[in-house]
Chains A and B, each alone.
Chain A
Amino acid sequence: MKILKTAVAAVAALALTAGSALGQQAFTIQIDGSSTVFPLSEAVAEGFQQQTSGRVRVTVGESGTGGGFRKFCRGETHISNASRPISASEMAACRAAGIQYVEIPVAFDALTVVVHPSSPLRSITVDQLRQIWRPEAQGQVTNWRQVNPQWPDMPLALFGPGSASGTFDYFTEAVNGRSRASRTDYTPSEDDNVIVQGVASNTGGMGYFGLAYYEENRSRLRALAIDSGSGPVEPSVANAANGTYAPLSRPMFIYVNAAALRRPQVQQFVQYFLNNGARLSTQVGYIPLPANAYQTYVQRAQRRTQGTAFGGRQAIGITIEELMARPLIVEPVQQ
């Protein structure tokens, strides 16, 4: 018995010491999720930490939209970066764990299809993209010429995001008609820099990712204009903002743990994000929302208004006006 008491006392003392040491550390806001949103959140985090002189720390991971939601819905992160809306199964996982969330669109992206700069291609139709990326193309469509006899006789070398990526979910739904339906014989990576590297070093290379990564690597890659029936449209801030870059223009989000928004540090961070969202989006190569949208979302964060405008489903080609007009719901919409 004496040994038991001594052991309990020793462990308690040890834990209290460790606990008080932890208590003196700066509060850390944990963020993880989409690698597409990462450059924006990273820029916001840097600015916010400078403004708060290190009193609040921010860590930003990039385990993909799906990987981020897995952590978020286990209560391991305060904020989840997402390049697609929360899915029905993620809504259920969050719900079962007592996690309520506030959905905040932060910018738009022009999902960009890139090829090697030596390629003669300048544009591609959505139908041609489908011929290349659909599941049936697996092992069958292996040469550019198979898609268009005018195109070079060159092996296709495909690079794209992995299945934990929201960009993968969005692209497959927008191009192939079904989320996550894709050929799998390509080189996947959750790290967009790997895709950049792959396409830049393969003359027959093709890949896709967020506009920011193209802007950062313009000299090494060529972006294709997308023709969805009304002629080719270049991926650009202007074309995404005016709605002509369809169907690959898409909103990007942060999902914030609603209970964590009661903490002043988290609330201040989200306010800083929205107040500087326009400037930093442009800086990293994304399309800012209109000023009134940021105002709306500032209020949404302050009021901690829960739910999603998507009900667990994707919305291809949605505009910011349509998005703002949608009601927020907490239950998944039946498929």
Chain B
Amino acid sequence: MKTNVITTAAIAALATAAGVTAAHAQSVPAPTHSTSWTGTVGEDRFGDARFKMRGRLQWDIASNELDFGGLGGALEDGPRSYTRRAFLGVQGRFTENWRYKVDFVLAPSSSTIQVDDAFLEYVADDWSIVIGEHNITSPLEDRISSLDIPFNERSSVINAFGFGRRAGLGFITGGANWSAAVAVQGDSMNSTETSQANNEELNVSGRFTFAPIFSTTPEGTQLLHLGVSARQRTAGDTQAFGYSVRPFNGRGSSPIAVSGVGDGGESDTTYAVELAGQWGPFGFQAEYATLDGETSTSGEDFTYDGYYVDVYWSLTGESRGYRGNQGSFGPIVPRTPFGVDGGLGHFSLSARYDYIDMSDAGIGIATDVLGEQTSYGIGLDWIPIDHVRFKLNYAQSEIDYANPGDGADGDAQTISLRTQFDF
């Protein structure tokens, strides 16, 4: 509508400038199709329908000094670069209520194109139903887009406990400062299993968030976020659940890993609690998760748990963007973009303490290595303009193995610089 008016205005202005009365412009037919700019790319509009391309690229340069036994052995990696994520997708809506989003994963997937978010959504006034590949019940850090997570990689518990997207049905509702979501999901859409004889995995999960303090002004956001989530899942017939952590790196060796091949989790139950806050330029975020599982072959029980605590300081004053009806954080938009009025963009410093305990016996076949990992990480972020971000991370990790046979205790130093943009 706006564009129709603007287009007509431009024609009318030209007509007036040429000494013709605006009445001559009145024969211009009303266009039914228009393009409007939302975010960084044009959005096609046709009546109530909307359609828009989207995408992201994350390219990392990383250097790891890994000195541990277990699966990785003693490794010293020099600097190398790699594409951490390359997504291309679409989002839109057929009507005000029926919407869709599909992100195709072009990298780091090896040979086949996979999907990230890929769902149809029916949106009512204050609830919606999601059908497809989604993670609406995941704990906080998994709900935050990879574009907006505070460090280059998510925390050990979020990575190790297999949070992420699966295909199925979800329901989410919420208000200004709370959200509630439940989901029933099977395998990921990216599963390559074709046999009808094999059962797929089953996930039943839920999450509830509440922000007793949440207000935003131009000076910043005041926020206290609380959240709980739970997930019960049973593995499919072909492969048990695996669990593995890396020392703050996106590629390379895992010092602690349960492969899921041969043994691994037949079923597990996860509980997680979330706490986050923002006070103008200062923020924190912490999550604790515990997982109780049962092995697929021996039927033994095992318990893993872990947590992380982050603190953030925005040197240029911006708060992290929070979405009360989703219980999740969004992008940080620089107050003064780089190059505008002498602006620097957004700078922030972050620090993380990250711990995971996967030393509980129960799984112990040759390819599995159990232990604890403790990591300390710091980060420097620069967002020169909205949609462009550079993230420099440094982390030290200590690994204690549960079984002497797995190798001597070790440590790791990782440094990584991410360049990312999205549209």
The segment from B8-16, B246-254, B399-407 found at the interface with A is B8-16
Q: Is B221 an interface residue, CB under 8 A from the partner?
A: yes
B380 surroundings in chain A (CB, below 8 A): 7-8, 11
Q: Is A293 an interface residue, CB under 8 A from the partner?
A: no
B8 surroundings in chain A (CB, below 8 A): 184-188
B344 surroundings in chain A (CB, below 8 A): 14-15, 18
Q: List 24 A-B contacts (CB under 8 A).
A: A7-B380, A7-B392, A8-B378, A18-B316, A19-B315, A19-B316, A75-B221, A96-B176, A97-B323, A98-B322, A99-B216, A135-B30, A138-B29, A139-B27, A155-B21, A158-B22, A158-B26, A187-B9, A189-B9, A202-B21, A257-B217, A257-B218, A260-B219, A263-B217
Q: Is the CB of B221 within 8 A of A185?
A: no
B397 surroundings in chain A (CB, below 8 A): none
Contact A4 B215, CB 8 Å, known A19-B316, A184-B4:
no
Taken residue by residue from 237 to 249, chain B's Cβ proximity to chain A (1 for < 8 Å, 0 otherwise) reads as: 0000000000000
A30 surroundings in chain B (CB, below 8 A): 218
Residues of B within 8 A of A (CB): 1-2, 4-6, 8-9, 12-13, 16, 21-30, 125, 175-177, 211, 214-219, 221-223, 315-317, 321-326, 333, 344, 347, 349, 378, 380, 392, 394, 415
Pick the most buried of A30, A138, A334: most chain B CB atoms within 10 A of its CB: A138
Q: How many residues of A contact B (CB 8 A)?
A: 55
Interface of A: prevailing SS = loop
The segment from A33-41, A46-54, A159-167, A233-241 found at the interface with B is A159-167
Pick the most buried of A99, A142, A159, A187: most chain B CB atoms within 10 A of its CB: A187
In the complex, the number of residue pairs spanning A and B with C-beta atoms less than 8 Å apart equals: 148
Q: Is the CB of B5 within 8 A of A184?
A: yes
Contact A98 B22, CB 8 Å, known A15-B344, A138-B30, A184-B4:
no
A102 to chain B, nearest CB (A): 13
A142 surroundings in chain B (CB, below 8 A): 23, 26-27
Contact A156 B26, CB 8 Å, known A75-B216, A180-B1:
yes
A268 to chain B, nearest CB (A): 16
Q: Is A288 an interface residue, CB under 8 A from the partner?
A: no
Q: Is the CB of B217 within 8 A of A259?
A: yes
Q: Is the CB of B23 within 8 A of A162?
A: no
Residue of A nearest to B378 (CB): A8
Taken residue by residue from 184 to 200, chain A's Cβ proximity to chain B (1 for < 8 Å, 0 otherwise) reads as: 11111100000000100
A73 to chain B, nearest CB (A): 9
A204 surroundings in chain B (CB, below 8 A): 21, 23
From residue 48 to 101 of chain A, which have CB atoms closer than 8 A to chain B? 74-78, 95-100
Partner pick for A159 among B22, B176, B219, CB 8 A cutoff: B22
A74 surroundings in chain B (CB, below 8 A): 333
Contact A99 B215, CB 8 Å, known A139-B26, A334-B125:
yes
